[in-house]
Amino acid sequence: MRCVLTNEETIRRVRENARRFWLMKTEPGECSIDDALAAPVSWFGIRNYQARNFIRDDMSVGDGVLFYHSSCPEPGIVGLAVIDSEPYPDELQFDPENEYFDAKSSKDNPRWLTINVKGLFKVPVIGLTALREHSELAEMPVLRRGNRLSITPVTAEEFRFITDHLF
């Protein structure tokens, strides 16, 4: 018999087991929450050094992820996920036919990393307007003007507020 957790139980386990929390943006045509719910997905194509450094230096298996759809008709947080692997080289950087190819990267010294993300459950879209309505979330990097990073840290307090009040 398979045990099915409620969303509340899942959130509680993520909070207890996560070392850190993240907001990770993706275009749903590339990788959607539905993809991550079906099977862990590789967070491929990161070509920003700050985001790469978050993957390399700060992310751990079990960290909580606010899964965010961007560049779509209704952008926003669409689900809860967790980091599901240690970082590993993004193979797309070695493929000259791929848009994510990097001629300066080598298999001996890869420049770009990826990490697997496992979806846990979906939520109705929580857009930027909804996030901005709460002073407790005012410092979130995703709410800063001009922020384009696909991976940003979320404080434990912000994560708790979002999962308690907006999920």
pLDDT digits (tens, 9 = 90+) for 1-51: 566 779 999 999 999 999 999 999 999 999 999 999 999 999 999 999 999
Which H or E run includes 49?
helix 49-53
Indicate yes or no: pTM above 0.75: yes
Local confidence band at 146 (pLDDT 50, 70, 90 cut-offs): confident
Residue 142 CA, chain-centre distance (Å), reads 12
- Cβ-proximal residues to 98 (8 Å cutoff; 6+ apart), any chain: 92
Structure tokens at 45: 């194509």
pLDDT value for 5? 78
Residue ranges per domain, the chain?
A: 7-159
For residues 154 and 126, give the distance between their C-alpha atoms in angstroms, rounded to a whole number.
15
pLDDT value for 2? 61
Q: Which amino acid is at 165?
A: H
The superfamily (CATH) of domain 7-159 is ph1033 like domains (3.10.590.10)
**End-to-end Cα distance, the chain:** 28
Share above pLDDT 90 across residues of the chain, in percent, rounded to a whole number: 94
Which H or E run includes 117?
strand 116-126
134 close to 161: Cβ distance less than 8 angstroms: yes
